[in-house]
Structure 1
């Protein structure tokens, strides 16, 4: 999916930049005559928002399936577990500090530490 709204009250929506990315992607795919028989996305709002400009630009009936098996892992759960395991105090964390924490948690998850 395009850029989501990290740090916003609702992460599951595209940021303004993400909406622009989705539009550019749709234009690119149309210009390169990409016409799939079937479009498959996850069920999250940001997935659907990313696909919508392309689906609309195709100007034809398009087979579209939204399947929860394509949804992402629960990054919030991974971050909470990382915080708990490492006794991290997140008071006063701004968006930049949270992003660093997210990267640390994801690395721990990838290494099998979580």
Structure 2
């Protein structure tokens, strides 16, 4: 039986002009995950990343912590099927004024409770995207994103030997959608799950011919052991 580790990227630069860049904390989260793998003597037969910069940065910082004997010598595989949905487009179709990153900054700085209000707005934007009523407004409608994520998982399993350890550096929406496929979750449940996934947390799958199953979800014990709550982030 093979194993697939789906790793959500480390904390990105939320609220900046370029979200697709790990923060300093995001780099540290990835390094701590790598130390966890090194201490558990984990080896990987394949490394897969989405095509986003934050995916590759997380992979580089994480796997640099492994002993040389445990590192992958071959080229890593990049599969855009594991990319995140377009957060920006989902938001601005609901709130066009947030097209300007500076407007987002002003909103977040407007009050101590602004981040919670922003989350409510984004949840409403997600509901609009997932409703199926406005598919023509989006370059990638929700059903297309679902199909892309499931297709990436299927390609991964079909191209793997039956007992490989594979690590995939991807995003929270992708992981949530794959879990929806495996567990039969509703769209509402997958949206709620997405909010709970921790940066640099692991979700582990087992696979064998014709079957993929969930072993565990959103494991971030490698961050908890520090006893520093600020190391655990969701955005």
Q: TM-score band, normalised by the shorter chain?
A: 0.7 to 0.9
SS of 2:48's equivalent in the other structure is: strand
The 1-side partners of 2:65 and 2:25 are apart by 19
Say if 1:46 and 1:17 are closer, same or farther in 2 by CA, change over 3 A. same
Q: Which gives a bigger RCO, structure 1 or 2 (Cα 8 Å, sep 6+)?
A: 2
Equivalent residue, structure 2, for 1:77: 89
SS of 1:93's equivalent in the other structure is: helix
Asked whether 1:15 is paired with 2:23, we answer yes
Equivalent residue, structure 1, for 2:56: 48
RMSD between superposed Cα atoms in Å: 2.2
Say if 1:34 and 1:81 are closer, same or farther in 2 by CA, change over 3 A. same
- 5+ residue gaps, structure 1, are none
Equivalent residue, structure 1, for 2:79: 67
The 2-side partners of 1:7 and 1:100 are apart by 16
Q: TM-score, normalised by structure 1?
A: 0.79
- 5+ residue gaps, structure 2, are 1-8, 110-114, 135-235
Q: Which structure has the highest strand share of the two?
A: 2
Equivalent residue, structure 1, for 2:179: none
Q: How many residues align?
A: 110
The 1-side partners of 2:29 and 2:130 are apart by 28
